[in-house]
Amino acid sequence: MNKLQYFCLVYMCIRMSVKYFSSLFIFLFVGHVLMAQRTETALNFDGNKNHVLIDVENDLLFQSDQYYTAGIALSYTHQNLRKTPAQFLLKAKSDDSFSFSGFGLEHRMFTPFSITDPYAIESDRPYSAYFLATNYSTLINPKKNLKMSNEIGIGIIGPAAGGEAIQTFVHETIGSDLPIGWENQIGNAFLIDYQFRVEKGFFTPWLAKHIIPIGMIRVGTLRDEIDLGLMIKFGNKDGVLSSSTDLNQNRDKFIWEFVFEARLQGVFYDATLQGGVFNGSEVVSLQNQDTFMRQYHIRTGINIYYKSFFLRYMVQLNSADFTAGIVHRYGGVNVGFSF
């Protein structure tokens, strides 16, 4: 091999490595999120610490760009936050309970089945993106095997959320097909969102820690829904994630936890499909008769805790949410640390 061939080979290797790692970086840090995840399992750290979390979901895992294509969220929980709006709505009424609160930012982005079709398809999911600033709070009572969380969000849906620029930049960087049709996206509208979730273990101590019924309600100008479901959890430290005292005792141990969750959803309104309530201009959107009220959501994955660090990987499956749609799946990564 002569010098020219050698340098050509080195150049190709460097170029492939840059492309690979830039794709990985974008997937982990520039992709997009379901913020309800933030108040579920990811915040079960020591209640006497501050926490930073980044939560990412993307359909890159399954090599698709359809429907819910990507999302990212950043959240910060501080131990001294005691009088936030979300905490005011969710007060601890027992000495056995402890709670924590924080603030976050999230961005989510949706596309039709094909992003290379230049024309809006009346029966397909419209392009849409939204941005929310949120305040959340979580309350845990280990003795009652009870966990409640809520979240308040305000933001905007439409071109002002920057979905077109973000997706175009990502696809240019990784050399993928450029999205065509964002000019037909859902129009600008103000968003206000409220979510409440409860997890409650019943019957025997073993069942209360491993098989947990869950309920959730979401109202506002983004999405209105009621969910009922079941969570199954197994790990090498039973119940350790429900008590800050146990976490202190096991801080230097490697803790893993398998999670499976299935929810049946009754969805009454979805701005990403039907347009915002206060849109000021005509938009491409679906009508009530084109959407499914009854939907399901399944997710499974593993949580890993070690010292002050947390890692979760989840695979999620959503049923079709409109008549011409199909089942959609995507992966999610949550990374956090306490200090």
Residue range 183-221, pLDDT digits in tens: 888 999 999 999 999 999 888 888 888 899 999 999 999
Q: Which of 89-93, 157-161, 245-249, 275-279 has the lowest mean pLDDT?
A: 245-249
- Assigned domain for 3 exists: no
What residues make up the domain containing 278? 31-338
Q: Which of 10-19, 224-233, 255-264, 275-284 has the lowest mean pLDDT?
A: 10-19
And the tokens for 54?
Answer: 């980044």
pLDDT at position 51: 84
pLDDT at position 77: 87
- Assigned domain for 233 exists: yes
More confident residue, 14 or 138: 138
- Separation CA 27–CA 292 (nearest Å): 30
Burial code of 299-332, b = ≥16 C-beta within 10 A, e = fewer? bebebebeeeebbbebebebbbbbeebeebbbbb
Reported as a single tens digit per residue, the pLDDT across 141-187 is 888 888 899 999 999 999 999 999 988 888 888 777 888 888 888 99
- Assigned domain for 23 exists: no
pLDDT at position 227: 96
Half-sphere exposure of 196 (CA within 13 A, CB side): 8
- Assigned domain for 12 exists: no
- Assigned domain for 11 exists: no
- Assigned domain for 166 exists: yes
- Assigned domain for 19 exists: no
More confident residue, 268 or 118: 268
- Separation CA 322–CA 296 (nearest Å): 13
pLDDT at position 246: 54
Structural domains of the chain, count = 1
- Assigned domain for 54 exists: yes
